[in-house]
Chain A
Amino acid sequence: MLKTKLFAAFIVIEAAALAALYVSSVSTVHLKEPEMALKGSLVRVMKLTDVAFWTEARYTRHPSQADFFTAFQDFPMSVDHFPAGSIVPPSQIHGAQ
């Protein structure tokens, strides 16, 4: 039964490691709550609206502020200038409402 024991030990170690990672993630989130609150107040007082991930164009830097509904952002057929265009899909808000 040696192999079974080895395998069981392997699975138990992996499961324990995952559980530990999950616990650490929950506790990190909990520990960083004050930092999140500070970031939240930064967003509030600076009146920020978007995350600074993609800086290449208006509609990737400020997706929530950009005029997605404008036809031909820069010239006809120029929807996806940037690789981030594949991550930032066209907004569905305006059509939905």
Chain B
Amino acid sequence: MRGHGRIIEYALSSLSRRKLKNLSVAAIFSILIAVLSSILFLMHAYKTETLKLLDSSPEIILQNMSAGRHELIPLEYISTLSGIAGVGKIVPRYWGYYYDSLTSANYTLMAVDADDASDKNKQDVKLINGRIPQTVGECAIGSGVAAIRQIGLNDDFFMTLGTEQNVNLKIVGIFTSNSAIVTNDLVVLTKNDLVKFFNMPVDKATDITIEVNNPSEVTTVARKIRRAYPDSRPILKIELTRTYDNIFNWRGGIVLTMFFGAIAAFMIFVWDKATGINARERQEIGILKAIGWETSDVLQLKFWEGTIVSLSSFLTGLILAYAHVFYFNAQFLAPVLKGWSVLFPKFQPMPYIDLYQIFVLFFLTVVPYVAASIVPSWKAATSDPDAVMR
């Protein structure tokens, strides 16, 4: 038996003898790890932040349905809803979308009601340069809107839906870019402006938010709402978080495709390596055995060769992925994520890391690679040295 140190030294020498081949293997391996863990890191960071933030969403949002589609909801529902046991504050929301043909971007318009007592605390919103609009003719916009329209505080902001439906607003606030994950495309304006602009009937709102004091009572409240208004659709917070859980699930959608594409490519690569032990390697094993190496020594040598390549590539790939996602805002993944979204938020993802994912990646890549470097050598090492050297 030789010491591990000597075997590692020999493994390094033997790797450096085929420098070009091994370096390119390590480079491919590193890039593969970097791509996979970039996706995992980014998705996990987005998902964690989104779920944490949406935990503050309303307990129940009530939509009215008509002909199977979302409809404006009559405000008269509120008096019935407030009679349900366990229901806290009920606040109607006024919001909608506006397609800005100038920039070909969609904005989300959202109303605040400065006269409404329940809307008063919106004035205390931080993370805004300036303030939330208080009177008709004012608006606050997300940083994405400000950037694409190239406008700033105190500038005018014009929106039109035809000759009758126009608003000309003064920008009194711009949401800070670190809140862009939820505010990027927002245009916040007063209720009166929004109702006038969208020409909404005065006795209707877009939807109604319902607070439930005791979280365990939410499903009962939702059931009673369905009973009172069979054509309505209560959206519970738990459904909301489940929706996002699905979207950012690393097994879902494009992540799955890319992940399995990359894993498949890697498996082919490993398979090729495993079956393709060439004559020279075979000969080398034969010589080692002829000069007195045991089979176990040869296997140790192959184990170390595999470990050296895969471990250093794995670590390099992880470092690259971390830097890519959390220091360079996932530049290379952004086009994939962005799709056709004109207003994609620019912000630094919060570095939430899931160590479990890293372990999974380790066992899916490093372990098969090491196994694949040992197994074919096994056959060569156990056969007669004279036979393999010939």
A residues adjacent to B (C-beta < 8 A) = 1, 3-4, 7, 10-11, 14-15, 17-18, 21-22, 24-26, 28-29, 32, 35-36, 38-58, 60-67, 69-71, 82-89, 91-93
Q: Please tell me which stretch of B46-54, B192-200, B363-371 contacts chain A, meaning at least 4 of its Cβ atoms lie within 8 angstroms of it.
A: B46-54
Q: Contacts of B46 on A, CB cut-off 8 Å? A: 51, 53
B69 beta carbon closer than 8 Å to chain A? yes
Q: Contacts of B252 on A, CB cut-off 8 Å? A: 89
Could you say which of B53, B58, B112, B243 has the most chain A C-beta atoms within 10 Å of its C-beta? B243
Q: Judge whether B254 and A36 touch: CB under 8 Å.
A: no
Q: Judge whether A63 and B345 touch: CB under 8 Å.
A: no
A-B pairs, top 9 by smallest CB distance, nearest first, are A83-B339, A25-B351, A84-B339, A14-B315, A3-B12, A52-B184, A44-B56, A64-B240, A43-B56
B residues adjacent to A (C-beta < 8 A) = 5, 8-9, 12-13, 16, 46, 49-50, 52-58, 61, 63, 65, 68-70, 91, 93, 97, 105-108, 110, 112, 121-122, 124-127, 142, 144, 178-186, 188, 207, 209, 233, 235, 239-240, 242-244, 246-247, 252-255, 257, 308, 311-312, 315-316, 318-319, 322, 326, 337-345, 350-353
Q: Judge whether B235 and A65 touch: CB under 8 Å.
A: yes
From A3, A40, A66, A92, contact of B9 by CB (8 A): A3
Q: Judge whether A40 and B56 touch: CB under 8 Å.
A: yes
Q: How far is the CA of A65 from the CA of B206 in the complex (A)?
A: 11
Q: Judge whether A52 and B345 touch: CB under 8 Å.
A: yes
Q: How far is the CA of A40 from the CA of B337 in the complex (A)?
A: 24
Q: How far is the CA of A42 from the CA of B142 in the complex (A)?
A: 13
Q: Contacts of B110 on A, CB cut-off 8 Å? A: 46
Q: Judge whether A70 and B68 touch: CB under 8 Å.
A: yes
Q: Judge whether A7 and B253 touch: CB under 8 Å.
A: no
Q: Judge whether A14 and B316 touch: CB under 8 Å.
A: yes
Q: Judge whether B340 and A83 touch: CB under 8 Å.
A: yes
Q: Contacts of B93 on A, CB cut-off 8 Å? A: 47
Q: Contacts of A32 on B, CB cut-off 8 Å? A: 350
Q: How far is the CA of A82 from the CA of B144 in the complex (A)?
A: 20
Could you say which of A24, A35, A69 has the most chain B C-beta atoms within 10 Å of its C-beta? A35
Q: How far is the CA of A47 from the CA of B314 in the complex (A)?
A: 43
From B5, B339, B342, contact of A1 by CB (8 A): B5
From B9, B112, B340, B343, contact of A4 by CB (8 A): B9
From B186, B255, B337, contact of A53 by CB (8 A): B337
From A10, A17, A40, A54, contact of B319 by CB (8 A): A17
Q: Shortest CB–CB separation between residue A23 and chain B, in angstroms?
A: 11
